[in-house]
Amino acid sequence: MLPGVSAQDFVPDGGGLAGLRKAAADCRGCELWEAATQTVFSAGPAGARLVLVGEQPGDQEDRQGAPFVGPAGRLLVKAVDEAGIPREVIYRTNAVKHFRFTQAGPGKRRIHQTPELRHITACRPWLVEELRVVDPEVIVCLGATAVRALLGPSVRVMRDRGELLTRETSLGAKTFLVTVHPSAVLRADDQDAAYAGLVADLRIAAAALT
Ligand code: URA
Ligand code: SF4
């Protein structure tokens, strides 16, 4: 099989989340698996009502093999709590499942690199299958990469954030909410205002849960 085509060739038929997680560990759907430590799949129950979709694992996530365990993840958990969303109804995942980074030399710090459209497209079959299995009430796109993966170029984070968007998808009509990525909050000049904006958006998503 040619490498670097798409994750589709690695997605199993059936097997639920556990089957997807196991198969994703061996994905070679693009070149990002090579330099990364491991596939970072997801966290949360199959019965979750709300899905948070991030960009890609960061340095900590790559080392630990779990999503949102680094600084941005901690900020996100705090924001979710503050928005009144019970943690146990949340499934957390990323648009791209391997850490993309540059490194100047051995022992040098690994610098996050934004995934390109081809990585997002290659990895998308995992996300689609996760959403099929979990079948949440609301899908929250955290930042531009998640938006590119699920909503396409007509949706803009800063213009369209904080509104419930209903879209016809291959999985039927789905409700989406777009907001900023937690690492954008960490980078913001006014962190308090950026954090308050994230919490306000998450409250809109919370209110949409039945
Ligand atoms: N940023 C993300 O988008 N996802 C993670 O899992 C961690 C940081
Ligand atoms: Fe597969 Fe996605 Fe990793 Fe690429 S980034 S190898 S498509 S899991």
CATH code of 112's domain: 3.40.470.10
Least confident stretch, 5-14, 53-62, 145-154: 5-14
Task: Print the domain residue range for 91.
Answer: 7-208
Residue 2 lies in a domain: no
43 sits in which H/E element: strand 42-43
100 lies in a domain?
yes
Would you say residue 2 has pLDDT above 80?
no
pLDDT one-digit tens code per residue, 169-188: 999 999 999 999 999 999 99
Any idea which ligand is nearest the CA of 27? Answer: 2
Distance 202 CA to ligand 2 centre (A): 28
| Residue keyed to tokens 């990525």 | 181
Rg for the chain, CA atoms, rounded: 16
172 has which bridge partners? 169
- The CB of 29 under 6 Å from ligand 2? The reply is yes
Q: Give pLDDT, residue 85.
A: 97
Q: What is the pLDDT averaged over residues 65-83?
A: 98
Helix (H, G, I), strand (E, B) or coil at 180: coil
In a domain, 41, yes or no: yes
The identity of residue 22, as a single letter, is K
Let me know if residue 202 belongs to a domain: yes
Q: Which residues line ligand 1 (CB under 6 A)?
A: 54-58, 61, 67-68, 70, 72-73, 94, 183
Does some domain include residue 1?
no
pLDDT in tens, 21-41: 999 999 999 999 999 999 999
Into how many domains does the chain fold?
1
